[in-house]
Amino acid sequence: MDPSEVEFLAERELVKVIPNFTHDKIYLISGDVGPFSAGLPLPVPLWLAVNLKQRQKCRFVAPDWMDIDVLKEKKQEEADSRFFTPMPSPHYMEITQLLLQWGTDDIPKADEIRTLVKDIWDLRIAKLRSSIDVFVKSGESHAKLNYLTLMEINTVRLFLTKALNHMHQLKSVTSRDTTNSNSQAF
Amino acid sequence: MSTEDVGDDLLETVDDEEEEEAMTAPEVLHKLEEAWLNEKFSPDLLPVKSNLVECMLDQIVAMENNISTLKKGDFRISVHRMEIDRIRYVISSYLRHRLAKIESLTTHVLQEEEKRRDSENVLMSPAELEFAKGYCNSVMTHLTNTALDHMPLKAATPNAKEIAVLPNLDSYVFLKVNENTENVLVEEETVDAREEIMDFEKGDQHIMRYKPIASLVESGGVSLI
């Protein structure tokens, strides 16, 4: 999957914005949004938030977890744990990326937040790589991936699935299973 | 059958219909997005979700009519347009993935469709079926004209079963569990390994081969991610 498609999915998440205009409820197909009243924060889908920001119609409100202390704690927890820890948002990376890209001024201490989120990402990706190594070497046929976010899965998707497909094929050939001979490799 | 039974049956059918009608537009959209991802990642063609696609297309048409009644420069126009574009993207990507699979697995999907003809759960929409048949014919005509006609008679009679490209059902997929499911057979018993059985808990994510969970994808017990 293209990373932009993961971002597309992340854009459905709700974030809070403070509009600078007043408007009745908007009846979207994906659900109602609003009513907007100038100065009052309300949740909107991320794609709409970015669009409003681009038209200078709102300010972003940082999500609760987008906070130096919370993220530092999270980073420590991630570093201490052998396993993946649950993230505050299933799309934390994309949301951070989009909010900081378009509204650096609205998010307090944007630079530090960017660094912390990147640190957490790096920790998790390093963990992911080493667990893939263990998984592949173990020759197991399945693995549980709880708390991995879609963007993280997506970074290893092609490599991992292809490698496992090949390994499975080799294994089934050695066990004289010929049913695969005319199947198509994707 | 007693009268009571008849009454129960009626009630149930009414319930079913109501359930379908009661699905709100956001729910339909969510289902469609799920179907899109399933189709994107599954190696095999999944049963078509015509009702979801049509429902969303109707919503788009209705929304476009609404937009045309708005005054020029209305703030809502661009918001609605943007949403429509997002939904259109999902629908067209969904249909494109299906067409790509129909093209690469033509004979296989036609055979599968044949098996399912009498069941309610059809594999392809009428338009897709027509496309698959047309595509199959064109490829065969092309092969006949360019190669088979110039071969000895014995080699020139291809067998549909032999030339069918089959999906690699053993390919690995990522999945997320929607409903608790117990005793999923992950690995069949082989000469050098015992069979493996697992319980799926709601919210779990796994990577494994597609084949053991194919039926769960169809029933909605798991979604591919």
Query: Across the interface, do B172 and A185 touch by the CB < 8 Å criterion?
Result: no
Question: What tokens appear for B185 in the block?
Answer: 């057979």
Nearest to B205 among A21, A148, A169 (CB): A148
Which of A19, A25, A24 has its CA nearest to residue A56? Answer: A19
Q: Which of helix, strand or coil describes residue B158?
A: coil
Nearest to A29 among B25, B168, B171 (CB): B25
- Rounded to a whole number, what is the distance in Å from the CA of A81 to chain B's nearest CA? 19
Structural domain including A29 reads 3-184
Query: Based on the structure, what is the number of domains in chain A?
Result: 1
Tens-of-pLDDT digits for all 225 residues of chain B?
Answer: 343 443 344 334 334 444 455 688 888 898 899 999 999 998 988 888 888 898 899 999 999 998 888 888 788 888 999 999 999 999 999 999 999 999 888 888 888 888 887 777 788 888 988 999 999 889 888 888 888 778 777 666 667 667 778 888 888 899 988 888 877 777 766 655 667 788 888 888 888 888 888 888 888 888 888
Chain B CB contacts of A141 below 8 Å: 186-187, 196, 208-209
Nearest to B165 among A160, A161, A184 (CB): A184
Nearest to B79 among A26, A146, A172 (CB): A26
pLDDT for the residue B160: 66
Task: Give just the sign of the alpha carbon dihedral A126, B200, B51, B127.
Answer: positive
ipTM of the complex: 0.84
| Cβ-proximal residues to B65 (8 Å cutoff; 6+ apart), any chain | none
Residue B222, number of CB atoms within 10 A of its CB: 26
Query: Distance between CA B187 and CA B189 in Å, rounded?
Result: 6
Query: Across the interface, do A29 and B89 touch by the CB < 8 Å criterion?
Result: no
In terms of CA atoms, which chain A residue is nearest residue B32?
A30
In terms of CA atoms, which chain B residue is nearest residue A135?
B207
Which of A141, A183, A145, A186 has its CA nearest to residue A164? Answer: A141
| CATH number, position A142 | 1.20.58.1020
Strand blocks (E) in chain A: 14-19, 26-28, 31-33, 42-45, 58-61, 143-144
Which of A103, A11, A93 has its CA nearest to residue A53? Answer: A103
